[in-house]
Structure 1
Amino acid sequence: MPPTRTQPAEAFTRRPGVLDLWEIDLARPISESDRDLLSDEETAKADRIIIESKRRQSYRARAELRRLLARYLDTDPRALCFSYGEHGKPALVADPEQGPAPLCFNLSHSGTVGLVGVIYERPQLRLGVDVEEARPGREFASIAESFFAPDEVEVFRRLPSTEEPAAFYRAWTRKEAYLKAIGTGLSFSSTAFSISYGRDEPAQLLRTERAGDAAHRWRMADLPCPAGYAAAACWDGEALELRHFFAPASAPPGPRS
């Protein structure tokens, strides 16, 4: 898989069969134009968030998602309609005249970073992206014992304590990306599949107990993100070139991880 290249948004052109990753700065204030883009359902959902900073971030993430998808579809961001799977995975509603949207996408946000993944002209693919803000002082070993598969736990137990935080978030984002790609959330146990996460190992799904699925169908990649964050993508099908952009309203931040 070719390395991800960070590019300015101005350099964006639609290319079929490429995984585009858009980084969103959620620390920016929301504007009236952000609010105006959202549907009543999206607004109501955001307004139910009690913590003000997280409520603002939800507004920003959803507004930017609409702007980005509209770029691929040459349409008004407000015209987009979303449906949601049984466990909340969003998809675009098919246009009555033009049929299904010619893309697949996924959204994740944590802290002040949002991430949107888009694969144009591959609507049949399943895609998941995950970004996580690293939080120091967590009981990483205890969490791994509860949520990692037995073979993943064995790997974690052999790690020096200094490597635990980075390894934990590397594993967690890869596992979340797979769960988001299949659209099940934690209704499919996080212990029922295994991923690689050794420091020098390529990212991959090693096994899955999901009926009708097979590990060899899936691809994984770690993604560029600001220092203090980890991010990963997972999709089924062939290996893809990855492109990384900053959303138009988001200036490139400081150090990268």
Structure 2
Amino acid sequence: MSGAVASVEVWRFPLDLPAPEVERLAGVLDARERKRRAGLRDPVHRRRFAVSHARTRLVLGERLGVPPALVRLRFGPNGKPFPDGGTGAGRWHFSLSHSGDLAVLALCEGREVGVDVEEVRPERDAVRFAARWFPPDESAWVAGGEEPDRVHRCLRLWTRKEACVKAAGGRLVRGLGLPVGTGPQPRVVHGPPGFPGTWTVADLPAGPAHVGAVALCDARPFRVRDRTAAGSADPGRG
């Protein structure tokens, strides 16, 4: 099995569901998640939080063989969640990201995983942001694009960096200087001094309104399995 190529399962979830569906899904949240949801003032943010975290529990429950409401999570120093308890729970790693009305969940057995998705908003000043935070070759690549493409280029680099940081369980501010490159993916990324690590990162198709990327720790290759069409277990049905 040591020579097997790792598989990353990826789900994309729409978050713009009607209120009754949102409340039905929210029934699988645990006490910590319910408290966090209640603390969100914006009803849109409450909806998105409930759907994305409930869908994550549905997938994890399937993998761990427990009801989604009983999935237990533990958290790393910077808040990265891990499945806790149950036979084989420690083998599974997952990462959740949402932006606008889209959530993306990545799940991998045996390797730390990070995923990021960002909504494309043309009003962003991509050139100024890249010049401030990215290495010179990357910021030049962003600035060299045509005006409609600059935001996409900036988000392409941003999501690659954040996917690596989330795989490492770190903070994004430490990863903005990661040299993720401007060429095709997948790519092996080596962390600079102060943020050691090696990640393999690949871009994810996320539709016309979003940009996404997924990363696994270490330099071994992996393949992405799109599970969106397959769906997942749904509470209260069947």
By how many angstroms is 1:102 displaced? 2.4
1:55 equivalenced with 2:38 (yes/no): no
Pick the aligned partner of 1:24 from 13, 16, 30: 13
Letter in 2 for 1:72: R
Give the residue type in structure 2 aligned to 1:171: L
Q: Deviation per CA, 1:45-83, whole angstroms, max 9, x where unpaired? A: 111112111110100011100000111111111111111
2:221 aligns to what?
239
Alpha-carbon offset, residue 158 of structure 1: 3.2
Q: In the alignment, what sits opposite 2:112?
A: 126
Quick one: distance in 1 between partners of 2:38 and 2:5? 36
Tell me which amino acid in the other structure corresponds to 1:224.
P
Closer/same/farther in 2, CA of residues 110 and 84 from structure 1, 3 Å limit: same
Percent same amino acid among aligned pairs? 26
Gaps of 5+ in 2: none
Tell me which amino acid in the other structure corresponds to 1:103.
W
2:206 maps to 225
> What's the counterpart of residue 139 of structure 1?
125
Structure 1 CA distance for aligned equivalents of residues 15 and 52 of structure 2: 7
What is the CA–CA distance in structure 1 between the aligned matches of 2:73 and 2:149, rounded to whole Å?
Answer: 40
How far apart are residue 28 of structure 1 and its match?
Answer: 1.3
1:245, CA displacement in angstroms? 1.8
How far did residue 232 of structure 1 move?
0.5
TM-score, L = length of structure 2? 0.86
CA RMSD of superposed structures (Å)? 2.3
> In the alignment, which residue of structure 1 is the partner of 2:145?
159
Q: For 1:87-109, what per-residue CA distance to the aligned partner results, in whole angstroms no more than 9, with x for missing partners?
A: 221111233xx364321111111
Query: How big is the shift at 1:160?
Result: 3.5
Separation of aligned partners in 2, 1:16 and 1:204? 15
Equivalent position of 2:180 in the other structure: 195
1:254 counterpart residue number = none
Tell me how far 1:157 sits from its aligned partner: 3.3
Tell me which residue corresponds to 1:108: 97
Determine the structure 2 residue equivalent to 1:75.
66
Compute the TM-score of the two structures, normalised by the length of structure 1.
0.80
Q: Provide closer, same or farther for how the CA distance between residues 212 and 190 of structure 1 changes in structure 2, counting only shifts above 3 A.
A: closer
Q: Distance in 2 between the 1:81 and 1:222 partners?
A: 30
Letter in 1 for 2:24: S
Aligned residues: 226
Equivalence for 2:159: 173
Question: Distance between the aligned counterparts of 2:5 and 2:84, measured in 1?
Answer: 20
Q: Say which SS state the counterpart of residue 101 (structure 1) adopts.
A: helix
Relative contact order (C-alpha < 8 Å, sep 6+): which is higher?
Answer: 1
C-alpha separation in 2, matches of 1:212 and 1:188: 7
1:164 is matched by which residue type in structure 2? R
Helix, strand or coil at the partner of 2:40 = coil
**Residue equivalent to 1:209:** 192
User: Which consecutive residues of structure 1, in runs of 5 or more, have no partner in the other structure?
Assistant: 1-14, 251-257
- In the alignment, is the contact (CA less than 8 A) between 1:38 and 1:78 conserved in 2? yes
Q: 1:149 is matched with which residue: 135, 142, 148?
A: 135
The offset of 1:86, in angstroms, is 1.9
Conserved? CA contact 1:107–1:116, under 8 Å = yes
Q: Retained in 2: the 8 A contact 1:127–1:180?
A: yes
